[in-house]
Amino acid sequence: MNKKIVLDTSIIIDGIISNKIENNEIDEGSEIIIPRLAIDELQSQACKQREHGFVGLAELRRIREKCKIHNIDVRIAGGMPTPGDIKLAKNGRIDSLICAIAEEEEAILYTSDYIQYLTAIASGVQSIFYRSVTSSEFDIENYFDENTMSVHLIEGVEPLAKKGTPGNFILEKISNEKLNKVVLNEIINFLFSTRENKKVSNIEISFDGCYVLMYKNLRIVITFPPVSNKIEITAVRPIKKLTLKDYELDTKLIERLSSDAEGILIAGRPGSGKSTFASSIADHYVSNNRLVKTLESPRDLQVPDNIVQYGSFKNGYERVADLLLLVRPDFTIFDEVRRIRDFELFADLRLTGIGMIGVIHANEALDAIQRFIGKIELGLIPHVIDTVIFINGGKIEKIYELKLTVKVPTGMIEQDLSRPVVEIRDFYSKEVEYEIYSYGEENIIIPLKNIDKKTAGEKNNRINKLAESKIREVIGRFDNQAEIKIISNDKIRILVSKDKIPKIIGRGGSTISEIEKILGVKIDVEAKVPSIGDEIPFSISESGSRIYLLVDEEHIGKKVNLFLNEELLASNQIGKRSKLKIDKKSEVGRKVFNLIMSNNQDALKIYESKGD
C-alpha cells in the first residue's frame, strides 16, 4: 500500500530505513519525507565532529540511492530551525516540530526514539517504533556487577554506581567517559523495546517528563525535561531476598508480629532496607496461611507468587482501596506512605479491621509516628499504629509499641489535668520513652527516657515556654501588653492594664472560666502597676503605617513605659535607632494618632522602667 512516511533523526542515525527499502519492506510508490530540521541537526553534529552526524548524513545518501532503484519518492519538508528552536533542542523542541510535520502531512512517523513514539501517539499522530539493531549494547544491566545496589546515569556526567550493602556502601564512577544524550536515548529505547520480549513487567508511572518501569528485577526511573533539566536514568536492584530467620529475631518479636501487631510501621532512611524487611514479613504471613496483598507504586517488592500486588489508579489508591475491602485480605503492605491522602487511607483501612504494614521514610523511629500527627486524630494513632520497627543499615535498630491511656501527663500534678496520653514504649524494656498529649490546641511530644532533676527542669521549661506562648495568644485578644507569670504547672498569674480586667473576668466570671477551660490552668488576674523612673524627653515622627517616638541614644535598649495622662499604654524596649515604634492600626497607635491629629501630644509621657 502506498503511504507517506516521515523520518525523525533517531531512525536516520540507526540506518534502519535503507535496509527496509533494500528488503522491499517499504512499498513501491510510497513517499519518504525528510524534515529539513533533521538534516540541519545532523549537519550540526557533523560540524562538531560527532560520529552520529556523519552516520546520519551517510544514511540519507543511501536512502536517496535506494529510493531511486525501488521507485520510492523522497521529499524534504519543513523550514529551517529558528535560533529559539536550536536553543530548545535539548528540551525536545526539534522532535516536537518533526512530529508536527507528520501531523500536517497526514503521514506515519517512523522513529527509533521511544519517547518520541509515545509523544506522537499521545498527540494523535500515527507512528511506528523500530528499535535499533545494536540496542543490546545499551542494556542497563551492563552497568551492574554483583556488588552494585543502584546505577545512576546522568547526561554530561560519568556513570555512577552505589556498591555495597545498606548502611555500608560507596558511590563510585564506573567509567571515565561522560554520558551524552544519544547514549542515554539508546538505553531508554532498549528498555522500552524489550517490552515485546516480556522483559519489562510493567510501566508503573507515566507522565510528561517521567517514566517508572520494571525491567526484570530492576526498578528504573527515567526523567527528562521538563521534570529534570537533563536526562537521568536511575536503576535500583533489590537487595538479596531475606526471611525473618535471617534477621535473627527473638521469639517475643516473632510472636508479636504473628498475633498482636496489626498496625505496623517499618521506618528508615532511603536505602536502609525497609522494603526488604517488609517483603520478609509478607513471606512470614503467607507461610502462616494469611491472605496478603500489597499497595505499591511502583510494584517492586520481592514477594511470593500468591501475593497480588496492587498499584495506584491514576496516581491514587482510593479506588484500589475499595477493592481491597471486597477482597478481604488479612494483611496489606502499604509501600510507601508519604502523601497526606496515604496517611488517611492507611488509617481508614486499618480501622476497617485489615492488618496494615506501612513502609515510611523517617530519620528516627519517633519521626515515623510524628508524621501521622495532624493527619489523623491524636487519640486514633494507637488504634492505627501499634508497632514501629526502625531499620538502619539492613538491621533492626529500634522497636516501639504504642498504647493509649488516660492519666496526668508526666510533670503535671493536679488530677483535674488528666487527659488521653499516647505512651510510646520500648518493646523490650517496656519503659515509656515518650508521651504525646494535647495541651490547649497544641500536640506535645515529651521525651521521658533517663530524666533526672536537671533534665526534668529543662523539660518543664519547655512546657512552660509552650504554655506561655499559648496563654499569650489567648490573653492577647484582651490585652496584647499582658505580662504572664507561670506559678506552677496548673496555675498562672497575668498582669494586665486595669481597664482590661472587667473584659477578661466577664459577667459573673464567665469569660475567665472559659479561658481557664481552654488553657487547662487556673488564672489569677491582677492590674499591672509599673514601677516608673525618670521622665524621658522625646519627639514624634510618622512614616507610612508607623509612629516613631524618638529619644536620646543613651536610652537604647532600655525598657520604658508610655503613658497617656495616668493610663499605661505600653511597656516596650527602645530600639537600636533610639526609636519606640508604634503601629498606627493597633489600639495604642490609634490613641497616639488621635492625639497628634488633635495637637494634644503633650498628654503623652515616657518614663524609665525601674529594675529593667
Residue 434 pLDDT class (50, 70, 90 cuts)? very high
Judge if 258 and 384 occupy the same domain. yes
Q: Is the pLDDT of residue 589 over 50?
A: yes
Report which listed range, 242-251, 324-333, 475-484, is most confident. 324-333
**DSSP per residue over 466-501, as a string?**
HHHHHHHHHHTTT-TT-EEEEEETTEEEEEE-GGGH
pLDDT in tens, 95-118: 888 889 999 998 999 998 878 888
Judge if 394 and 264 occupy the same domain. yes
**DSSP per residue over 450-467, as a string?**
T--HHHHHHHHHHHHHHH
Instruction: Point out the domain boundary residue: 380, 401, 422.
Output: 401
Judge if 347 and 260 occupy the same domain. yes
CATH number at residue 104: 3.40.50.1010
Judge if 331 and 314 occupy the same domain. yes
pLDDT in tens, 380-401: 999 999 999 999 888 899 999 9
CB 402 within 8 A of CB 282: no
Judge if 19 and 111 occupy the same domain. yes
CATH number at residue 510: 3.30.300.20
Tell me, what's the pLDDT at 356? 93
For residue 554, being part of any structural domain is answered with yes
For residue 424, being part of any structural domain is answered with no
Q: Is the pLDDT of residue 451 over 70?
A: no
Q: What is the mean pLDDT of the chain?
A: 82
Judge if 279 and 146 occupy the same domain. no
Distances (CA, A) of 304 to 279, 292, 329, 391: 9, 10, 15, 22
Q: Is the pLDDT of residue 80 over 80?
A: no
Residue 413 pLDDT class (50, 70, 90 cuts)? low
Instruction: Point out the domain boundary residue: 527, 553, 580.
Output: 527
End-to-end CA distance of the chain: 97
For residue 438, being part of any structural domain is answered with no
Place of cell 478481604: 328
pLDDT in tens, 273-303: 898 899 999 999 999 999 999 988 778 788 8
Judge if 223 and 251 occupy the same domain. no
For residue 440, being part of any structural domain is answered with no
pTM reported for the whole predicted model: 0.54
Place of cell 535500583: 236
Judge if 257 and 232 occupy the same domain. no
Burial class (CB in 10 A: 0-12, 13-18, 19+), 141: middle
**Tally of domains within the chain:** 5
Distances (CA, A) of 482 to 177, 467, 527, 575: 68, 15, 10, 20
Place of cell 542497563: 140
In 156-307, DSSP assigns E strands to: 160-165, 168-173, 200-207, 210-215, 218-223, 232-236, 263-268, 292-296
Judge if 468 and 550 occupy the same domain. no
Query: Among 37-41, 79-83, 178-182, 276-280, whose mean pLDDT is lowest?
Result: 79-83
Instruction: Point out the domain boundary residue: 476, 507, 527.
Output: 527
Query: Among 70-74, 128-132, 390-394, whose mean pLDDT is lowest?
Result: 128-132
For residue 97, being part of any structural domain is answered with yes
Tell me, what's the pLDDT at 314? 59
Judge if 109 and 139 occupy the same domain. no
Report which listed range, 80-89, 332-341, 494-503, 594-603, is most confident. 332-341
Judge if 195 and 272 occupy the same domain. no
Judge if 117 and 162 occupy the same domain. no
Can you tell me the distance from the alpha carbon of 92 to that of 268, in angstroms, rounded to the nearest whole number?
Answer: 38
pLDDT in tens, 541-567: 888 888 888 888 888 888 888 888 767
**In the predicted model, what is the mean pLDDT of residues 193-222?**
71
Instruction: Reduce the DSSP state of residue 212 to 3 states and report it.
Output: strand
Can you tell me the distance from the alpha carbon of 200 to that of 193, in angstroms, rounded to the nearest whole number?
Answer: 9
346: Cβ contacts below 8 Å, ≥ 6 apart: 334, 337, 356, 358, 384
Quote the distance between the C-alpha of residue 416 and its chain's center. 41
Q: Is the pLDDT of residue 456 over 50?
A: no
For residue 68, being part of any structural domain is answered with yes
CATH number at residue 270: 3.40.50.300
Q: Is the pLDDT of residue 479 over 60?
A: yes
Q: Which three cell numbers stand for residue 423?
A: 505512651
Residue 464 pLDDT class (50, 70, 90 cuts)? low
Domain ranges, residue 595: 532-609
Residue-wise over 520-543: b if at least 16 C-beta within 10 A, else e? bbebebeebebebeeebebeeeee
Q: Which three cell numbers stand for residue 49?
A: 565532529
